[in-house]
Amino acid sequence: MEYKEIIRKVVLLLPEPKYTRLRNQKLFEWMNQNAPGKRVLNLGSGIGQFDHYLSKGVKAINVDISPSIRNLHVIADAHFLPLKGDCFDIVYSIAVLEHVQKPWVVADEICRVLRQGGHVVVELPFLNVIHDQHDYFRFTDKGIRSLFDESRFDSILEQVSAGGGSFLSVFFLEYFKQFIPTKYLRALWRLSMRYAFCLLKYLDLLIDSSKGLRITANSFSFIGRKR
């Protein structure tokens, strides 16, 4: 067996670190406390990689643009939701609005389908590598607030979801990979370094109370109540 095939098989056998980010859990704690029994829209549900943070009591209508996703209830473009207005208690959307071409239009749609007093729950990246063919935007905390502004939403929670260490864990892996000439050597590099770089996220614990944490944030979360 050639060494290239050995490398390929070893790479396939060893699982990726599934979640590189060291997350602030307050957003998901809020969902677990407030979403059970409510009418929840999971906008951009995807493959459900964040579902394990939610309790079994949180039941949602899953909406996504891709028809191949399992457990999907509605296939729709988030810019034009085929849903009645004022019909949801919570619109929950994690790492989605960076993948839409007009996030301000999607924010208007979220506001439209929410009942008065309903909540928008979002998490969006600030520092991150390009991670999808449809990857258009990055958001500061103020950028998120501009989508869900004070004229329409009262702020319930604004926070750094993940710090700069979580960004570095991905950035270093992708950056240094570009210096490696062949795909087989890149696979070997990824195999040997992905777990080591993943440990960088724990640096965020040392500066968790720093006032400057937001300056190098990997992502931000926002929960707002519709006026």
| pLDDT (tens place) for every residue of the chain, 227 residues total | 565 566 555 555 555 565 567 888 999 999 999 999 999 999 999 988 888 899 999 999 999 999 888 889 999 999 999 999 999 999 999 999 999 999 999 999 999 999 999 999 999 999 999 988 999 999 999 999 999 999 999 999 999 999 999 999 989 989 999 999 888 888 788 777 888 888 899 999 999 889 899 999 999 999 999 99
| CATH assignment, 26-164+208-226 | 3.40.50.150
CB 65 within 8 A of CB 75: yes
Task: Look at residue 140 in the predicted model and tell me its pLDDT.
Answer: 98
Which pLDDT belongs to residue 7?
A: 55
Cβ–Cβ < 8 Å for 153, 225: yes
Write down the pLDDT at residue 213: 93
Q: What is the pLDDT of residue 55?
A: 94
Q: Specify whether the CB–CB gap between 226 and 120 falls below 8 A.
A: yes
Q: What is d(CA 37, CA 188) in angstroms, rounded to the nearest whole number?
A: 48
What is 61-90 written as a DSSP string? EEEES-TT-TT-SEE--TTS--S-SS-EEE
At 22 the pLDDT is 80
Dist. CA 40–CA 61, nearest whole Å = 6
59-70 as b/e, with b when 16 or more CB fall inside 10 Å? Answer: ebbbbbbeeebe
Contact indicator for 217, 161 with CB cutoff of 8 Å:
yes
**What are the beta bridge partners of residue 124?**
220
Q: What is the pLDDT of residue 68?
A: 85
Return the pLDDT at 72: 92
- What's the CA gap between 62 and 43, in Å, rounded? 6
- Distance between alpha carbon 199 and the CA centroid of its chain, in Å? 20
Q: Which two tokens stand for residue 31?
A: 């969902």
Residue 121: the pLDDT is: 98
Say what the pTM is. 0.88
The pLDDT, as a whole number, for residue 3 is 56
* pLDDT score recorded for residue 116: 97
Amino acid, single-letter form, for residue 190: R
What pLDDT score does 6 carry?
60
Residue ranges covered by each domain of the chain: 3-13+167-201, 26-164+208-226
Res 69: pLDDT: 85
What is the pLDDT, as a whole number, of residue 49?
83
Per DSSP, helices labelled H in the chain are 3-13, 26-34, 103-113, 141-147, 164-177, 183-198
What pLDDT was estimated at residue 97? Answer: 97
pLDDT over 90, % of the chain:
70
